[in-house]
Amino acid sequence: MLQSIRPFALGRKNWYLIDTIGGAKSSVIAYSIAETAKANNLKPYEYFKYLLEELPKQGELEDSSYLDQLLPWSEKLPGCCLKKLKSKS
């Protein structure tokens, strides 16, 4: 658990530039998505790209059932988002 906090602590110098509540909330959301992607063996950049391509296709959020397919632990994510697991030699 502590290892997942380390990159955030090392980069905290960068966060002092966030001087609005909205900016802070946006940063928290983006950082949370990236760390959750990493925890689920996804490539964060590819996962963000996939989300930003798929969410606009869904239109308004009247029916949010499609969101389950976009979660980082969904088995329906495309292969480009998945990290290749290193084989034990």
**In the chain, domain spans:** 2-57+66-81
**40 pLDDT exceeds 90?**
yes
Q: What is the pTM of this model?
A: 0.72
Average pLDDT for residues 26-52, to the nearest whole number?
91
Residues ≥6 apart with Cβ < 8 Å to 37: 43, 44, 47, 48, 72, 81
pLDDT score for 72: 92
Going by C-alpha positions, the residue among 21, 77, 28 that lies closest to residue 49 is: 77
